[in-house]
Amino acid sequence: MSRILYLVPLVGFTKEEKTRRERLANSFLTQEKNEVVVEDIEEGPVSIESSIEEYMCVGGMLKKLVAVQDNYDAAIIGCAGDPGLVPAKELVDIPIIGPLEASLHVASMLGETFTVIPSTFSTISRKLRDYGMEHRLASAEGIHFPVLEMAKNKEEVAKEFLKGAKKAVEQDNASCIIIGCMTTAFLLIDEMLKDKIDVPIINPAKISVKAAEMISSLGLKQSNISFPKPNYEKLNKTLFQNSFR
Amino acid sequence: MSRILYLVPLVGFTKEEKTRRERLANSFLTQEKNEVVVEDIEEGPVSIESSIEEYMCVGGMLKKLVAVQDNYDAAIIGCAGDPGLVPAKELVDIPIIGPLEASLHVASMLGETFTVIPSTFSTISRKLRDYGMEHRLASAEGIHFPVLEMAKNKEEVAKEFLKGAKKAVEQDNASCIIIGCMTTAFLLIDEMLKDKIDVPIINPAKISVKAAEMISSLGLKQSNISFPKPNYEKLNKTLFQNSFR
Amino acid sequence: MSRILYLVPLVGFTKEEKTRRERLANSFLTQEKNEVVVEDIEEGPVSIESSIEEYMCVGGMLKKLVAVQDNYDAAIIGCAGDPGLVPAKELVDIPIIGPLEASLHVASMLGETFTVIPSTFSTISRKLRDYGMEHRLASAEGIHFPVLEMAKNKEEVAKEFLKGAKKAVEQDNASCIIIGCMTTAFLLIDEMLKDKIDVPIINPAKISVKAAEMISSLGLKQSNISFPKPNYEKLNKTLFQNSFR
Amino acid sequence: MSRILYLVPLVGFTKEEKTRRERLANSFLTQEKNEVVVEDIEEGPVSIESSIEEYMCVGGMLKKLVAVQDNYDAAIIGCAGDPGLVPAKELVDIPIIGPLEASLHVASMLGETFTVIPSTFSTISRKLRDYGMEHRLASAEGIHFPVLEMAKNKEEVAKEFLKGAKKAVEQDNASCIIIGCMTTAFLLIDEMLKDKIDVPIINPAKISVKAAEMISSLGLKQSNISFPKPNYEKLNKTLFQNSFR
Amino acid sequence: MSRILYLVPLVGFTKEEKTRRERLANSFLTQEKNEVVVEDIEEGPVSIESSIEEYMCVGGMLKKLVAVQDNYDAAIIGCAGDPGLVPAKELVDIPIIGPLEASLHVASMLGETFTVIPSTFSTISRKLRDYGMEHRLASAEGIHFPVLEMAKNKEEVAKEFLKGAKKAVEQDNASCIIIGCMTTAFLLIDEMLKDKIDVPIINPAKISVKAAEMISSLGLKQSNISFPKPNYEKLNKTLFQNSFR
Amino acid sequence: MSRILYLVPLVGFTKEEKTRRERLANSFLTQEKNEVVVEDIEEGPVSIESSIEEYMCVGGMLKKLVAVQDNYDAAIIGCAGDPGLVPAKELVDIPIIGPLEASLHVASMLGETFTVIPSTFSTISRKLRDYGMEHRLASAEGIHFPVLEMAKNKEEVAKEFLKGAKKAVEQDNASCIIIGCMTTAFLLIDEMLKDKIDVPIINPAKISVKAAEMISSLGLKQSNISFPKPNYEKLNKTLFQNSFR
């Protein structure tokens, strides 16, 4: 049995939304006896819509990760941009799943190229270069709702998403669509649009839960060669106030 | 519940070996109610140790795939070199899993570069280029036993594997090791060596079973854009003797 | 003097068409005393319009190649998609010419980028990546006639080809056009359109004949490092019924 | 005249060391009337020797940057790993200089490939891929002193550096050496070793000061297309407590 | 103090134009006590609008460079296409600055991709590939005035430039514009258009002067590994009539 | 029938050596009725052993090319480094063959990677990047004889070449060897070593003659898109003294 942490790197999440996401995340599990627990952080942004917010969530996220890691067999970074993926992999001994990273790899098994919706070209192409996958980016399409207003505009979000997806397939030769934002993912936009477009729609929330199950059940975790372990004694004294034993 | 076909693209498999692999493959499942069935083909090679044999198994494999596809929710190509992966994805409407492809993507989530053991540099680097992952190949290491004699030399195979893996990590900066041959994978060499080397060892047999579960449970399959559906009427008349309805 | 095999990896070729292609192929020779012989195969597809057919011709093609190799100094794979190029290079000791591969290299000497007509983007970009030439693909353009109906619609094929070629040059900055299908190549579409467009049109039928002459006259053949020789004894016992001596 | 901020993303810097670096940084100026001011941050690591520390300095660094940006014409991130370069470029309206980024570009004008000393392969190759320069990395060489003990071991650091540099040139074909750590850079190791090795040694402290002068004197700054401006109103309310006017 | 040679690889420059460029080039200096001297060559083209002229200026340029090198601390190739950059770097012992190369590197610090105006796609993409920067080219835009008639049509040149720049930003996602021709650069088109477009415009004349100051003041020059020194004795006897001492 | 110019971009060739090369070049022809004529230039280096000499031969070479182009159906640049290949392709209307370019393309049909002997890494890797083939370079090996002394030391040159070739195959996984110097090529080192090493040795002298025959017999030449025609009127007035009609 695997206990999976879904760590939202944000503050200000309502208890209701947390419960809703936890319920959905558990419904994505392959194996019923596994469990997903949603946690958020003490200090950080309310949503991530710029590189600034993406970086400023990392400190709070790593601190929470250290504090709770012993309770879990794997952890998912609860944001479709994978903030702090590299330091998180270095920091702890449980496997860390980046929903974007996992989605890119699943998409690559289903098609040659993909479009990420919502995303902006400059940001997503930089990210894909980091993952060595820039050549697979067909295009980027935005959605005109701030993240915090998406839930209230579910139908319109789906309509805009579909419009972007169709453009991606018809004009840019995209073979898959990846949902580029967790709030959109938890609207289950992939299920809403499944019958309206003939290419796979990859939901990073679902993929990350299943990847966490897969990797933890195999007893695997990130390599110490690519993600060398830090000097824990120094970290204890400086940034993490003796959180490591 | 998913029924998963593990299609060995070979002839001459003993019933005993088939049963052994089926038992192991079922033990790799994440969800107990899923099922893996091992089948082999009517016409083809006895093992795959050259590109020649890799290509000459494809005809028989595709024919079998068409014949049995209605019984399954997903199919794994039962060879670590992914023979016929592209035409299989084009041909049928269930998701097709290439064990090498899936292993490369899982390895990429765990580390930057990897070494494939056993493999030869010219062959594996060509394959990785096909998958757009040539930049991640740290090195290739061979093992000096013909595939059909590995089972009888399990301990020596493990010893040679370990030697290659250590060289890969120390000299070539490999961050993961991927098992490059299904016979080696079904020896569970990863479990034999787990405590002897400090980088992840990726077992393509395990990965492919779990990837098949993941992708079929998500209702996903390969994109029609990257893998356009053929003219079934023509195929029926020419190569597949009315196998498609 | 070189005897060159032009091996059509298809069944059902009429004697008339075989004779026509043989006559044309011989007219492409640089050196009159050389000779091209057209042969077809026993088992396989009637034309190649999908990856499925591309792979399912390989078994029959390799068997024929082994059976007749002693009669020839070089062999051309008689299809513009180079089916089975890698295993053919591994299998025999005479140089194997892939018409697409040879055309890509000649085109690269004449211009920076090219468009392949007819082709589909997903298929041709995958192929070019295999050859390490993806960066040179300007675009892909289709033609709306099934291969088997092209000969009857020669003028319309030429018209569509020209339309695609003009679009490629004007919109996609293509510097050369490569004919992407042997049936189109044997219509001598390059000669029909020579004066109608100001970029080189590369005919893979012509290029492959001349490349076979060049390479065989130099006493060269594919490298054993990139294309390691198989275990012939094993192949004799399994797939090739003692065809190797 | 340009006022240049050299922002050390660390805590615990002694006043003495701050003064020493400020004096040196001012000595690197091309134009005497320009000025470099060294500042440090309120919250963060004491030195950066892991990706964890690299990310955990960013929050404090961005806050300080916002607080003081009006006093400066340009800002240098005072760490050879360029922590937080992307969000800093997005956040403010003055040019942001990454010492590693600037050094890579200067090195690229002087030679084809380079070795970074000190650095570890997994970390530096990931960084260079982010900058689209992975192909220029000849090798990585470490130095066996913790950053905070380098100043006390200046001669030994130089000796190890020289050993690594010679290996890089002789074995790995490196055409330039880039100093990979600011503490090493402020030891002026380049001047100590200038006559002992015949390839350029690039000092990121010097390069970043001169790049800041160059870019600010030209009236240039990072592009809004690659680094889109955030929603300042939201940032004011959430992460920056009304620091933006 | 640095004396910088700005070597125009052309013949037929009027004394007036030479003086004008020298005056402007000196105004680009960061440090007032430095000095730029403009020289031209004895034998070569009157302007560079083809690869032919680009190559045919190199002989005269290298001869002049050898003749005057002792008077200078650094040399700029006075053409935005960097003709003869590699042999010039090999030939002399002072740093050689290519205005295009330097501009590409500065642009890369300010944004992800750029458009070069004026330029033609085939020529500029070939150049960028030489510099390992092909992936950063957003697009190429021409200007419809021959180089020698630009000065007389300053306003129209600016208008066309702006039109091209806007298209590059809006359609091709360019994050910076690089001026691709020295005559256009010396019209100070960047200053004319500064307030009309919201992305950096890189002026290679300015960048090259500042890069020459930076690199010479750091005591750096091109690496002997990438630019191995020639056999001067042989050169003296053959091409340079005892110009080297 | 094709008349092929083999244009040696050098001065000081003895009549004897010119005659010897012309005799050999004609022996490389596939079609006996074709003819190769060797010409040299009026002004330039005596041999090419640096980028300096490589560039300084181009002016004289282009002038000669213009003067004699009407007598020929194709022209080969008679140096294994392809000096002036791009401007020559732009300048004239007959196909221009670069022996290195042609050899790289033939080698790519025979194997995945190659080593160039003699060559230096910095120079040959730069050239291969220009051709988009850097990923195929296995290694570079030098030979310790100045070009002008090779003929006198034929046996020792062959011995050193063989040593380099063996190292390339065994240590660097090279699948082909390309002769990197025309003087070495005209020693017929490939024939001397044919039986001593089991990978193809590519002779650029032979390849360029056969490529010239192939391309001219097909009525092809370089594309005007990649190699746009210059303003001949301007060239006539400036660099070529009315050589164009």
pLDDT per position as a tens digit, F72-102: 999 999 999 999 999 999 999 999 999 999 9
Helices (H), ranges, chain A = 15-27, 51-56, 58-68, 85-91, 99-110, 121-130, 154-172, 182-186, 189-193, 204-217, 232-238
Q: Which of F51, F122, F230 sits opposite E87 (nearest CB)?
A: F51
Q: With an 8 Å Cβ cutoff, are D122 and B112 in contact? A: yes
Q: Which amino acid is at F164?
A: G
pLDDT the model gives residue E245: 67
pLDDT the model gives residue F241: 86
Chain A: residue whose CA lies nearest to C120: A173
Closest CA to D62 of D38, D36, D86, D35: D86
Tell me how many helices (H) and strands (E) chain B has.
11, 8
Q: Which amino acid is at E242?
A: N
Q: With an 8 Å Cβ cutoff, are B173 and D126 in contact? A: no
Distance from C-alpha of A159 to C-alpha of A156, rounded to nearest angstrom: 5
Shortest Cα–Cα distance, F196 to chain E (Å) = 33
Chain E interface test: which of C108, C110, C112 (most E C-beta within 10 Å) = C112
Q: Is the pLDDT of residue F244 over 90?
A: no
Q: With an 8 Å Cβ cutoff, are B112 and D126 in contact? A: yes
| % chain A with pLDDT above 70 | 100
pLDDT the model gives residue D134: 94
Shortest Cα–Cα distance, B12 to chain A (Å) = 30
Give, in order, the Cα–Cα distances in Å from A177 to each of A144, A167, B190, C103: 18, 11, 34, 34
Chain D: residue whose CA lies nearest to F140: D173
Q: With an 8 Å Cβ cutoff, are C214 and F215 in contact? A: no
pLDDT the model gives residue F245: 67
Residues with Cβ within 8 Å of residue B8, at least 6 apart in sequence:
B18, B21, B38, B39, B40, B41, B78, B79
* Strand extents, DSSP E, chain E: 3-7, 35-39, 74-77, 96-97, 114-117, 137-140, 176-179, 201-202
Q: In what order do the strands lie in the sheet with C74-77?
A: C35-39, C3-7, C74-77, C96-97
Q: How many interface pairs between A and D have CB atoms less than 8 angstroms apart?
A: 106
Q: Is the pLDDT of residue D148 over 90?
A: no
Q: With an 8 Å Cβ cutoff, are E126 and C112 in contact? A: yes
Chain F interface test: which of C167, C214, C217, C222 (most F C-beta within 10 Å) = C214
Chain B: residue whose CA lies nearest to C127: B130
Chain B: residue whose CA lies nearest to D139: B173
**C62's tokens:** 């390799």
**D115's tokens:** 């070795």
Chain B hits for D134, Cβ within 8 Å: 135
For D158, other C-beta atoms within 10 Å of its C-beta total: 18
Distance from C-alpha of B118 to C-alpha of B9, rounded to nearest angstrom: 19
- Residue C165 contacts residue C70 (beta carbons within 8 Å): no
Q: What is the phi/psi pair of residue A12, to 5°? A: 85, 5
Q: With an 8 Å Cβ cutoff, are F102 and C109 in contact? A: yes
Question: F242: pLDDT confidence band, cut at 50, 70 and 90?
Answer: confident
Mean pLDDT, residues F132-147:
93
Where on the phi/psi map is residue C95: left (φ > 0), alpha (ψ -120 to 50), or beta? Answer: beta
Distance from C-alpha of F38 to C-alpha of F25, rounded to nearest angstrom: 8
Q: Is the pLDDT of residue E148 over 90?
A: no
Q: Is the pLDDT of residue C194 over 70?
A: yes
Q: With an 8 Å Cβ cutoff, are F125 and D135 in contact? A: no
* Angle between helical axes of E99-110 and E204-217 (0-180°, round to 10): 90
Q: Is the CB of residue B112 less than 8 Å away from at least one CB of chain D? A: yes
Shortest Cα–Cα distance, F125 to chain D (Å) = 9
Question: E242: pLDDT confidence band, cut at 50, 70 and 90?
Answer: confident
- Residue E221 contacts residue E93 (beta carbons within 8 Å): yes
Q: With an 8 Å Cβ cutoff, are D111 and E223 in contact? A: yes
Question: D245: pLDDT confidence band, cut at 50, 70 and 90?
Answer: low
3+ Cβ–Cβ pairs closer than 8 Å linking E and D = yes
Neighbors of chain F by Cβ distance (3+ pairs < 8 Å): B, C, D, E
Distance from C-alpha of F20 to C-alpha of B189, rounded to nearest angstrom: 63
pLDDT the model gives residue A147: 86
Q: Which of D51, D228, D234 sits opposite A87 (nearest CB)?
A: D51
Q: Is the CB of residue E125 less than 8 Å away from at least one CB of chain C? A: yes
Using DSSP's 3-state secondary structure scheme, residue D176 falls into strand
Chain E: residue whose CA lies nearest to A121: E173
Q: Is the pLDDT of residue D244 over 80?
A: no
Question: C245: pLDDT confidence band, cut at 50, 70 and 90?
Answer: low
Chain B hits for C148, Cβ within 8 Å: none
Q: With an 8 Å Cβ cutoff, are F222 and C173 in contact? A: no
pLDDT the model gives residue A14: 92
Q: Is the CB of residue F114 less than 8 Å away from at least one CB of chain B? A: no
Residues 134-153 of A with CB under 8 A from D: none
Q: What is the phi/psi pair of residue D140, to 5°? A: -125, 140
- Residue A72 contacts residue A6 (beta carbons within 8 Å): no
Q: Is the CB of residue C230 less than 8 Å away from at least one CB of chain B? A: yes
Chain B hits for A224, Cβ within 8 Å: 198-199
Q: With an 8 Å Cβ cutoff, are B173 and D122 in contact? A: yes
Chain B interface test: which of C47, C48, C56 (most B C-beta within 10 Å) = C56
pLDDT the model gives residue C148: 86
Q: Is the CB of residue E173 less than 8 Å away from at least one CB of chain A? A: yes
Q: Is the pLDDT of residue C243 over 90?
A: no
Question: F137: pLDDT confidence band, cut at 50, 70 and 90?
Answer: very high
Shortest Cα–Cα distance, C145 to chain A (Å) = 22
Shortest Cα–Cα distance, B130 to chain C (Å) = 5
Chain E hits for A125, Cβ within 8 Å: 112
Closest CA to F117 of F154, F162, F55: F162
Q: Is the CB of residue A233 less than 8 Å away from at least one CB of chain D? A: no
Chain A: residue whose CA lies nearest to E174: A122
In Å, the largest CA–CA distance within chain D is: 56
Residue ranges in chain B whose pLDDT is less than 50: none
Q: With an 8 Å Cβ cutoff, are F112 and B134 in contact? A: no
Distance from C-alpha of E200 to C-alpha of B18, rounded to nearest angstrom: 65
Residue A230: cis peptide before it, omega within 30 degrees of 0? no
Chain E hits for A122, Cβ within 8 Å: 112, 173, 175
Q: Is the CB of residue F130 less than 8 Å away from at least one CB of chain D? A: no
3+ Cβ–Cβ pairs closer than 8 Å linking B and E = no
pLDDT the model gives residue C90: 97
pLDDT the model gives residue B241: 86
**D200's tokens:** 């350029």
| % chain E with pLDDT above 90 | 93
Residue ranges in chain A whose pLDDT is less than 70: 245
Matching residue, tokens 């160059």 = D214
Q: Is the pLDDT of residue D121 over 80?
A: yes
Q: With an 8 Å Cβ cutoff, are A111 and B225 in contact? A: yes
Residue C204: cis peptide before it, omega within 30 degrees of 0? no
Distance from C-alpha of F215 to C-alpha of F74, rounded to nearest angstrom: 8
Q: Is the CB of residue B130 less than 8 Å away from at least one CB of chain F? A: no
Higher pLDDT, E83 or C147: E83
Q: Is the CB of residue F23 less than 8 Å away from at least one CB of chain D? A: no
Q: Is the CB of residue F15 less than 8 Å away from at least one CB of chain B? A: no
CA-atom Rg of chain F in angstroms: 18
Question: D241: pLDDT confidence band, cut at 50, 70 and 90?
Answer: confident
